[in-house]
Amino acid sequence: MAVDRPVPLDEYPIHQAPLSMRHTVTSDRNVYDRCIFHVLDHTGRALLITGLGVYPNTGVIDAYATLRLGDRLLAVRASDALGEDRMNLAVGPLRITVDQPLRRLRIQCDPDPDDPGSFSCDLTWQAEFPAVWEPHHTQRRGDRLIVEGRRFVQAGTCTGVIRADGADLPVTPGEWTGTRDRSWGVRPIPGEDGGRAAEETRPEGFHWIWCPARFDDRFIMVIIQEDADGYRTLNDAVLIRDGHPDTQLGWPQADVRYRPGTRHAEHAVIHLTDPSRKPLELTAELLTSSPLAIGAGYPPAEDWQHGTWRGRGWTDRRSYHLTGPAARPQLARAAFGVTDHAARFTLDGQVGHGIFEHGSFGRHDPSGFTGYADTGPAAPPAEGEDRP
């Protein structure tokens, strides 16, 4: 039996309960604490997604980085036993260094030592706007609380280099945007028997939009989560300017145009309202996309999901094709998860960039989707707009 001793974090006055920082205040196996970064090229050439998480009650730390480049998705994933030093945000070839909290962080993915030309990155993320809280997120399965998360989001710029296929992609301000999300709480980890509640209270449908959009002088964050009947269970639309109070932008409503025969978003307009009741339209032109169930470890990924124990020192590198007949089975499965789209946004004549994250599966009455197999009609093109 291991000796229970203080850990390095116990030196600091940050305790929230009369417990060592080794322990969480709940015994729920699904406790998590993690981050995600999105780094996107403004032309749609590349989308990098990377993140790291710890799962104290399963004793796991893991991380991933994916790069959408053309028709391929390059992925690096790593998992290990969670150690005592929680300030060391590193696992395998992946590292996140907090140089200045809420201001500057470094993101690194080392190349394969046997292949110096393999996918890697070394980036510095710099905040351009204050971090803003997202709504407190809760979700139940039957009577049990299965999701309770606290999150903040922030937008900034990135500098550095991404390497892939032996070539460098310089990451420079003005040509790339970086957003990040930080969350902790309770969120399901694969491997748990959900019991009767999981069998008898299956959701009929789920509809989700998570949309951080960065402009030169402002940052807009929109969140929408709806049940099958359109009931809004998570909702926020806020405008952030450095040195100004945050501005709420009403009750957001989204019109999403899908690729015919799918629920893969191609274009979106989010209808907002400023404090004077003036209507605003946040338009998203989707440049490239990365399904989070491919490479990044989000449900319903088959090859690896966050928080699962893969043994000590596990590292995996893969290349996925996202077009062609061979890609269809994995894309069909990934359609029942969430997809992150790099997007060019317009608002009041200004152009910005960010992420349009969307997932819609099962019934969703406002969209006309009647079940999991239904793709529904694609919305018509906007007036004066040509369908690609």
pLDDT digits (tens, 9 = 90+) for 136-168: 999 998 888 999 999 999 999 999 999 999 999
Are the beta carbons of 49 and 178 closer than 8 angstroms? no
Provide the pLDDT for residue 200: 86
Taking 70 as the threshold, does the pLDDT of residue 225 lie above it?
Answer: yes
Provide the pLDDT for residue 1: 57
- Give me 122's structure tokens: 């070394």
Are the beta carbons of 41 and 161 closer than 8 angstroms? no
Provide the pLDDT for residue 326: 85
Task: Indicate the pLDDT class of residue 378, thresholds 50, 70 and 90.
Answer: very low
pLDDT digits (tens, 9 = 90+) for 231-244: 999 999 999 998 89
Provide the pLDDT for residue 376: 58
The pLDDT > 90 percentage for the chain reads 86
What's the whole-model pTM score?
A: 0.94
> DSSP assignment, residue 379?
P
Q: CA 355 to CA 213: how far, in whole Å? A: 7
> Strand 167-171 vs strand 176-186: parallel, antiparallel, or unpaired?
unpaired
Q: CA 266 to CA 219: how far, in whole Å? A: 22
Taking 70 as the threshold, does the pLDDT of residue 173 lie above it?
Answer: yes
Q: CA 40 to CA 180: how far, in whole Å? A: 12
Q: How far is CA 294 from the centre of its chain?
A: 13
The pLDDT > 70 percentage for the chain reads 96
Provide the pLDDT for residue 384: 46
Q: CA 88 to CA 81: how far, in whole Å? A: 13
Options 1.10.3210.10, 2.40.370.10, 3.40.50.10490, 3.30.565.10; CATH of 29-185+204-367: 2.40.370.10
Look up residue 316 and give its amino acid: D
pLDDT digits (tens, 9 = 90+) for 307-322: 999 999 999 999 999 9
- Give me 378's structure tokens: 């694609």
pLDDT digits (tens, 9 = 90+) for 52-86: 999 999 999 999 999 999 999 999 999 999 999 99
Average pLDDT estimate for 313-333: 93
Provide the pLDDT for residue 385: 43
Provide the pLDDT for residue 377: 59
Provide the pLDDT for residue 198: 83
